[in-house]
Structure 1
């Protein structure tokens, strides 16, 4: 299991005083500040986080060491990570996205469907991006209890019951 979990991303600068627009990936969005200091994925940079106010796209926030609009703008797109041991334990039916990446996906009959290469969310719920095989395009599978009834992190596999035609190769 990865030691770092992505908890947010910087959407760009906010205002002219060095604040950033911070999007939280936490269940309770304002909890992101409690997990600070947050780091970059490679661990080369670390930031304290102070939420200054809610805004339509998340929060306006101050990051330690970021003092100007130019510095804030330069961070656009940066993902922020917290060590797993600072995050809450999850119930059995919830997972950190990082834990799903790399799991093998099988249908209910045991036939291999591919490997999870990403978890995406465009606002309507999580989607598992599954690499079907070499030379094949990936497919997005809704991550719902009905379509993904079993996730076995320890065994490294997911059992899925995809909708008819979703994975057809025609």
Structure 2
């Protein structure tokens, strides 16, 4: 996966019988997924021209130039879609693309390295960073709030955390 692309959504199967697709958007403004130019597969071997037609339950219906039939739309179910980073809006200083956080070194407020960000999750109540490191039997989930993650320094490749009591192994 190229660092020049960010995951913005995924195909969720067909919608109707005329080749429309169901589309999940991972964008802050979900309907913007159709405005980022061609969307790419993770390996970059295929691109899709997506036109969102309407909101539907759990996402959008969309026309995709490269998809003509219901069967073609169904075959794409689960394929994640990536936009070129330069097509995406620039973010304010206190916002980050999830892809930029993954892999960053994690230090606690005492300066002790605790591991790395292995994933970012959002189950509806806000973002959580997943931290893995030495001594972890399972990954730790830290709420991605200013209180728990007071510093993110992309240039230094570093996240400073002040985790809730018991969130990390001792």
TM-score, normalised with respect to structure 2: 0.94
Residue-pair matches, total = 169
- Residue 18 of structure 1 and its aligned partner are, at CA, apart by 1.4
Secondary structure at 1:98's aligned position in 2? helix
The correspondence of residues 124-143 of structure 1 with structure 2, limited to 5 A, is 124-133=125-134, 136-143=137-144
User: Could you say what secondary structure the match of 2:10 adopts?
Assistant: strand
Q: Matches of 2:94 and 2:17 in 1, distance apart? A: 43
- Deviations 1:36-58, CA, capped at 9 Å, x for gaps: 21001111010000111101211
Root mean square deviation, CA, Å: 1.5
The equivalent residue for 1:114 is 115
Q: Which stretches of structure 1, 4 residues or longer, exceed 4 Å deviation after superposition? A: none
Deviation at 1:135, TM superposition (A): 6.8
1:105 deviates by 0.6
Instruction: Name the SS for the 1:117 alignment partner.
Output: strand
Q: Name the residue aligned to 1:68.
A: 69
Q: Residue 33 in 1 paired to residue 44 in 2?
A: no
Q: Which runs of 5+ in 2 are unaligned?
A: none
1:159-170 matched pairs, under 5 angstroms = 159-168=160-169
Q: 2 CA distance for matches of 1:27 and 1:168?
A: 33
Give the gaps of 5 or more residues in structure 1: none
Question: What is the TM-score with the length of structure 1 in the denominator?
Answer: 0.94
